[in-house]
Amino acid sequence: MNQAFQQKLRAMAAGPVLFDEPLDRYTSLRVGGKADALLFPQSVYELEILVRLFKEGGYPFLVAGNWTNLLVRDGGYRGAIIAMKDFRRVTWGEGDKNYVMVDAQAGVSLSELVRLTAEQALAGMAFCAGIPGSVGGAVMMNAGAYGLEIKDVLHKVTLMDDQGNMTDCLRNDLSFEYRRLDLPERTIVISAVFCLERGDRQTILDRIDEILDKRRQKHPLDYPSAGSIFKNPAGHPAGLLIEAAGLKGLQVGGAKVSEKHGNFIINTGHAKAADILALMEQVQKEVFAQTGIALEPEVRIIGD
């Protein structure tokens, strides 16, 4: 990214603009090389300007939410990363005696949305309790747990394409798959509207506490991780496949398969992205050799 383009970015951006920024400061795995540029837009208008600037300049870009499902290689990312953390508005929309529409911008964390909706005695988001990530990321990967997915409570999503054009899409107009929303590359989730049912506040809070307690018991929350590292093959929980293959505790450098949950790879302190990728490859090879099942990464892998 040449100096002239850097100066143009600084002039057009209202939020912070960082160049050659190490990404291990941001990713939940605490690994990753430098990005050419890291930007924090403050408004939809600013985001539109930046996206059009990158399109015109031919510079690649991608969007990050809470950095919890992103594995950046040690060589870093040649392009710009747009961080959506300042898109944090939640508004309460139309409702009736049974349902309420809740509009949340992409940078709102799932944990915050779960808390806010529970306080309003709105049921439907409890399954997201303890899922790391933001609204935008959750929509893009159709996040889910306990038999439910984001698509089950989604009413509408506002999107921006790679030319800065905005569109609203109803749930039934979107193509959701397991841990994936089928959209053109570089489509950005701006906000999502959820249709939630009125319920009993204490019942909702009790369900959230129950789910969080289960996660604390099962998941290695004391170490940096990206949550589930592999998708669950149909009918086969990835964690159980990894455990049955005898791979809990397997380690490459500072990366280790958690002894608490087989589908978590943790950073024991000084892991590199290369360690995590090598460990993922070992796990995939061994599980395939023993079962014939190919594990597919759930984490998004980017960079050089």
For 221-262, how does the pLDDT look when each residue is reduced to its tens digit (9 = 90+)? 899 999 999 999 988 999 999 999 999 999 999 999 999 999
What backbone torsions phi and psi does residue 230 show, to the nearest 5 degrees? -120, 150
Catalytic site positions:
179, 228, 298
In which order are the strands placed within the sheet that holds 265-267?
251-252, 255-257, 265-267
Global confidence as pTM: 0.91
Mean pLDDT of the chain: 95
For residue 93, what pLDDT is reported? 83
Asked whether residue 95 carries a pLDDT value surpassing 80, the answer given is no
- Percent of the chain at pLDDT > 90 equals 88
| pLDDT at position 80 | 95
| pLDDT tens sequence across 189-232 | 999 999 999 999 999 999 999 999 999 999 998 999 999 999 99
The domains located in the chain, with CATH, are 3-83 (3.30.43.10), 90-218 (3.30.465.10), 238-302 (3.90.78.10)
Cα(113)–Cα(104) distance, rounded to whole angstroms?
8
Token output for 171: 């749930």
Cα–Cα distance for residue pair 152/146, rounded to 1 Å = 12
**Residue 94: pLDDT over 80:** no
State the average pLDDT over residues 118-124: 96
